[in-house]
Amino acid sequence: MPMKGKQAQRLSWMAQAVFWFSILVILCAFLYVFRTVLAPFFLGFIIAYLLNPLIRRLNKNNFSRKSATLFILTTFFAVVALIFAVVVPLLAREMAAFASALPRYIDNLWAMATPYVSDLQDYFGIRDKQDLAEKLNPVMGPASDTGKNILTGVFSGGLAVIDFTVTIFITPIVAFFLMKDWPKLTKWVDDLMPQDHENEVHGILKQIDKKLAGFVRGQLLVCLVLGVGYAIALMIAGLNYGFFIGLMAGALSIIPFVGSTIGLLVALLVAWFQVGTFAYVAIIAAIFLFGQFLEGNFLSPKLVGDSVGMHPLWVLFSVMAGGAIFGILGMLLAVPVAAIVGVLMGAAIIRYKNSAFYRDTGQNDSAKKNKTKS
């Protein structure tokens, strides 16, 4: 290719990169400025996206899209309302009981660690149980604060009640209109595609949809099954706060291995201080090990699939970054956004490797020959 052609290609590539980067900056600025009012719209979009396959199935069976949307959405929110009515009060009680029992567990843990105080001082700088509590606070504090914000802050305080009420009433409306007009919305987006790169953009969007459908929908189902399974099994085993610990382990399983590991450690600690026998601790450990066996061999392969998985470190980073920037809403949206960013980064790397920046550095033939001889 002539040098002018190469330069023109590079300038075109750079112009496109600047354009799309500017669009991304504007979009991020918009989201940040209006982050306090976007919660019902984001939640409505997520609900519409997750339930859209069910709408399509009913639509194929001679249901109008409006009727199918009303039926699916009504059923969905009825189930959510039932969960809130039955599960949340029990979860709130167990969380409050666990928080009140935490100082006692710290006392017991310190009593167990007393023979090894010198080792603790050497490695962690812990001198007494107050220091131990301070060391544990950075770990337990964020989880405790998040739980309080969700379960108590939502139901108390005038502004919190208003925000919660607005979200409850607006989210179904947003979800309804998005689900009803989903074909029109996708057609509108399709018309905005750059014509010169239409096939490439369509390919990226299909990859994003596959990633979201496979990982987000699948991983949410895995979390739900694990959380309910752990909660029921721990309650049957008679573990104190078993319902809370099981649901916590299931919710944190959105990050592979993290939820079950944290749930296992907390459950073993509670089991030891509750009964104090290795047999009971082994029963609790067996519950989590069986759950991991089911997840690794049946749930994840069937519901998620290996081809659409995301690295646990990438998921962990996205959840932490989303929480730091947008709070609880950011944590909820972190995994879908991480899936989209992962696909876009992969497409950008492929495009870069096919560009003149990567394949042709402008090195002349004589220099290449000298390099080959040397």
Q: Given this model, what pLDDT does residue 235 score?
A: 92
Closest CA to 147 of 328, 330, 337, 349: 328
d(CA 10, CA 312): 36
Q: What is the pLDDT of residues 210-265, one digit of tens each?
A: 777 777 777 788 888 999 999 999 999 999 989 989 998 988 887 767 788 888 98
Tokens of 338: 């991480």
Query: What is the tens place of the pLDDT at every residue in 19-52?
Result: 777 887 888 888 778 777 787 888 888 888 888 8
Residues near 211 by beta carbon (within 8 Å), at least 6 away in sequence:
308, 310, 339, 340, 342, 343
Could you tell me where the beta strands, DSSP code E, fall in the chain?
A: none
**Distance (Å, whole) CA 69 – CA 248:** 31
Give the per-residue pLDDT at 283. 93
Q: pTM of the predicted model, to two decimals?
A: 0.64
Residues lower than pLDDT 70 in the chain: 1-13, 110, 113-166, 197, 256, 304-310, 326-329, 332, 355-357, 359-374
Residue 61 DSSP class: T
Residue 361, pLDDT score: 53
| pLDDT at residue 262, as a whole number | 87
Residue 230: its pLDDT value, please?
93
